A and B are shown apart, each in its own frame.
Chain A
Amino acid sequence: MSQTSLAIINARLIDPASGFDGPGGVLIEDGVIAQFGTEIDVDAADEVIDAQGRILAPALIDLRAAKEPALTPDGETLSTLTAGAAKGGYGTVVLAPNLRAPLDKADGFDGMTKGFGRYGVRVLSACAATQGLNGQHMSEIGLMVRGGAVYAGQGDHPIADALTMRRLLAYTSQFDVWLSVRPADTALSAGTVALESDWSARMGLPAEPAISERIAIERDAALAELTGGKLMIDRLSTQAGLKALQHARRSDLEIAATTAVAHLTLNEVDAGALDSAFRMDPPLRAESDRLALVAALADGEIDAIVTDHRPTPFDDKGEPFALAIPGTMGLETALGALLALVHDGEIELIDLLRALTCGPADLLGLPQGRIKVDAPADLVLIDGDLPWVCKPDDFESARGNSAWAGRRFQGRVLQTIVGGVTVYNSKV
């Protein structure tokens, strides 16, 4: 349902890019923002929405969602993935490589990205840094970047070998794309399913010490400095890793960091009953890690929050904790889970939204993610207080693996607009 012009007025307008949080509205014309602020020319609009003081912000951007392989029986398709994303307030989703769909083949890559135009939500794709994410042999990164890849990633697989990492950073630097790698020392973390802690030791779970992340960040930051490559820390999850990141930022190098919703909102105690839904990669951490990450987010040290959305077949979650496939779905639940941090007074809304909008947009050089004249009209209207319960049966997706199943949330998306077109409306 395309509108030539749409005005949204009487909103609490939040634009993290400019730091604005106050009353206002926007006028959308031809898919871009034509006016914003308190003085909106409503007479020029074909349709006017009275937001009644609710939150109007740039639509959210996710840099890390896994797509199931095409034609997977009972699987999540791009149609249902984007429908769930729209419902969760996302206007842009970047597909990231994972073992099931490694995105490591240059053949057909541009064809795939060209097909993304038909989903209301903007879909982008990253590509695999190494063939089959094996961490050894480079994939055709250059051809895939030409085919539309927006960064090179490694799924859950760290690069064990420093020489390979050096070459990857050097090679990707010529395309000016980020190399996104999970920070983990492969030897310390191999075969582990939990954080090394009192709980995991008592449970007899194979566990990785938090410093595994720190060691990897220290190594990779040094290699980024050596090569001039752009290093994206993929899902920073520990306080030890955060310290290494802060240290690295004192040097002149290009380094960015993302954190997953799970690590900002859950901790290892949530996994205490060994429910496979809480099996994550990286594993859930200590509460002190979570608090440090939230503080870093508030300070702007985390560039982007990722959903790490991962639809999983029942069979893979139908295993005990240690054997279950890691991951949770997240596109529909991210905002609900994260708003709890705002309601609990752990972070200001604008600081939270920064890492969900202009933060990731700036990393990839995208024009959306901000409220600005001539910026794409990608917007989300949010009722910050509306209570709801997370029920996987209600998900748009055929999958239902969620670490937040049964959780009570406060705050929900009412309407998502992408390029001036409403892609989700809770009233419809």
Chain B
Amino acid sequence: MTRAEFSYDFPHRHLISVADLNPVDIQIIFERAAHWKALNRTTNRSSDHLAGLTVLNLFFEASTRTQGSFEIAAKRLGADVVNFAIEHSSAKKGESLSDTARTLAAMRPDIMVVRHSATGAPHFLAERTGLSVVNAGDGMHEHPTQALLDSFTLAQHWGEVGGRRILIVGDILHSRVARSNIGLLNILGAEIRLCAPPTLLPPDVDQWGCDVFNDLDQALEGCDAVMALRQQKERMSGGFVPSAREFFHLFGLTHERLEVCSPEVLVMHPGPMNRGTEIHTKLADDPDRSVILEQVESGVAVRMAVLELIGDVIRREDAS
């Protein structure tokens, strides 16, 4: 499937949820990401695709890697990038998000990249401002570019993600990365497995189109890729899990445990990693298994693709 065969233009001016994408949209994003990824490896990596457009990085939650990745992506496309880090406490604040949004919109940016602690905040901002919005993580809801870069990384190895068996292990309950990945991998036709203690699984998660396990060794059988999620330290001290140590013994990824997987199994992690909690340090650094740094590299390329495609839609709308 290539774009030419479908004579179909990427239609979205927002990226808020993976559920808004169809398989062709995803294919288009991956094609463009592959282009940018190759170019990023040369010294000739700058373009003027988004020249004249302003990208606002609006991060209500602290982030270094995601914000940096979006910033590099937008700058390589020639956009003007402005970073706003807004300390946000739901308890007492000066103005409502609605007013903040309208204030920023009055500065006439073109694309807002938003991270916020509340589910639905990017959608809310898109509705209130009319600007294009890219969701860089909202609460425990979604983190669509992370899911796209994860699948893109796998697609680079395999060609197709469909039909492969992929395990997500760790704190599914609180993870927006897991929710977006489950959505996207379902669209792509992968077989999804989840593994976590019952305290870290959402209710009725078996209804989400995945097989659910509490036993890691069973869950790992025949897997083509394993995605470990980041474990929040404060949830590892008796609240959800008795200790980080117990978690590692039950759910931590090691070379030995991966022996039941497919021999070519790939290991992923969205970062930042807690070595010795969710993944053994040797496995994290094993170049034959771990694609963790490749994910970071893919991240810039996928975000370039998303910003580029949305930029095209904005220009098309502007012209008509």
Contact = CB atoms under 8 A, between A and B. Distances in A.
A320 B95 contact: no
B119 interface: yes
A201 B120 contact: no
A323 to B, nearest CB: 5
B118 A202 contact: no
Interface range, B side = 20 to 34
B178 to A, nearest CB: 10
A315 B207 contact: no
B202 A201 contact: yes
Contact of A321 (B120, B202, B207): B120
Contact of A274 (B95, B120, B203, B205): B120
A318 B179 contact: no
Interface stretch (B5-13, B61-69, B96-104, B282-290): B96-104
A204 to B, nearest CB: 3
A323 B202 contact: no
Nearest to A196: B203
Nearest to B204: A198
A205 B119 contact: yes
Interface in A182-241: 196-198, 201-206, 209
A385 interface: no
A192 to B, nearest CB: 12
Contacts, number: 71
A316 interface: yes
A318 B120 contact: no
Contacts of A205: 119, 139-141
A74 to B, nearest CB: 14
Contacts of B141: 203-205
Contacts of A209: 203
Interface range, A side = 20 to 34
| Most-contacted residue by chain B among A197, A209, A320 (CB, 10 A) | A320
A204 B118 CA distance: 9
A314 B176 CA distance: 29
A323 B88 CA distance: 11
Nearest to A321: B120
A338 B203 CA distance: 32
Interface string B225-236: 000000000000
B105 to A, nearest CB: 14
A205 B140 CA distance: 7
A319 interface: yes
Interface of B: 90, 95-99, 116, 118-121, 123-124, 138-142, 174, 176, 179, 202-205, 207-208
11 contacts: A197-B203, A201-B203, A202-B202, A202-B208, A203-B141, A204-B138, A205-B139, A314-B98, A315-B98, A316-B96, A320-B118
Interface of A: 196-198, 201-206, 209, 274, 276, 314-316, 318-323
Given A320-B97, A321-B118, A323-B90, 4 more contacts: A318-B99, A321-B119, A322-B119, A323-B118
